[in-house]
Chain A
Amino acid sequence: MIRHPFDYVAPKSIEEAVRYLTGDTVAVVGGGTMLIPSMSLGEQTPTRLVDTRHLPIRDVQAIDDCLHIGAAASYDTVASSPEAQRLAPLLGMVCAGVTGGPQLTGQATFGGSVCYGNPASEAPGCLIALKANMILQSASGERIVQADDFFLGPFETARRADEMLTWIVIPSPAQWVRTAYFKQKHSTSSWPIVTISVVVDDKIVRLVVGGAATRPIVVELPLAGNDPARLGRSASEAVADGLTEAWSDALALGEYRRRVAPGLAARTVVRALTEGPAS
């Protein structure tokens, strides 16, 4: 049982929900798979919980070929969505690697992971690769923040205390013809140490390295010539250059991430160009 007292509300609409976001001691609950245990351990002590269980942000929709992912949609919902498979196969690759068993993938949410902002997580890297837009609602209206600008640092996002994430919108990705994803981890069930998301269209290779640094590293390379190995090497150099503030936590020290990230980036770029699924 959790020790500290808190208010609990389960609003039936977004309009109602945002009125409860009165300060930074209010926590919005997606699946609760990170928040509830941290409250059980006394690590986080919000004064109010706003439960999203009744809010209409739990599904995945395709609107004009843009993918709209509800902030409270579970990993299973995203993984089993035919629209997501068609429009953004990278998301399915990420969902397939989420650990904790079916109990967890049916309860935990992309939106919750986004707002938590743990560098050692998968949502930031893949959403930046897909150029996702975060739709934030507050009592004063809607604000849209691009994924590139959303993840400010470890456990720090651009979401204001009076805002909640409602939708993650991926713009028409008909351009990304090849995709690859890699998650470096200790074992099958460990959290990610480094994540590499690669998307390729007819002009560029776009790759995002998550987990290695305090902020995800974005690299774009022109798709010149038909030499995957050379592009891999360029990617590796660009990642090494961008890895100025390596992230350390209980899974791995920054030095380890600095050593492995460039090589993993190269390998994943090569895989995307030679094997990655064409959508």
Chain B
Amino acid sequence: MENKEFLSLLESLSLKQTFELKLTDDKNHTFCQLTTLQLKELIKTIVDSPITQVAFNNTCTNVMEQCLVSGMDPNINIVDRLLFLIATRIQSLGEETYKAVNQETGEEITVSLADVLKKLQTNIEKSKQLFEPQLVTLNDVTLVYGIPTLLNEKRLNQEVYDNLTIDSDNMDEVRDFLGKTFMHEITKCIKSISTNDTTMEFELYTFDQRSEFIEKLPVGLIKSVISFIEKYKSLIKESLTVNDSQLSVDSSFFAL
């Protein structure tokens, strides 16, 4: 049999092995199982920025896009990606347990990933309002914001983090970087700013331009966004906490 034909046949086999997963939109989506190449790509991201995790996040988004049978939905967010990563680890690697290390005590604990996934889905169900578009108005300025979408994060990585190099010995550079990272965390949640009859859709602007707009906003508005970010991150943290140990979903999560 011809090599190309055989390789296509192998690819089609992978496409047939699927699993269903309910995302934050309350709908079931069909995903293919990971191939060995995709797993290798995920593991490669072990060399990554610990602050931005750009390589890992980009790779996960790409893999999720490749695995989603119906194609990428622009509303799929970073919590959906977390659901996918845990589910695909269970389905594709066929292992429901994971050995995690307690960072403080160094103790190794066995975690049931199925339980973690269930806990995360339960917490999402209980906090449905977090996954709706959020509104806050102050002095005729209205912000619409929500959980960052994967497309938005991908764009941030492409525009800002992909080509970023920092001299870690230069404290001014490091401070500047941390300040901008904090700003970008806020910016990537915001969908639009409205004032009187004018609405500024953020997707039409670069992240640097968006940051400029945000810097001019009253602190009271930004506080709401920060509070929202703390809430959804807290939901994630709580879902990934098992026996006082935090499960790290990063490149090491896929190391066998």
| A, B from the same assembly | no
Using a CB–CB cutoff of 8 Å, the interface residues on chain B facing chain A are none
A interface, CB within 8 angstroms of B: none
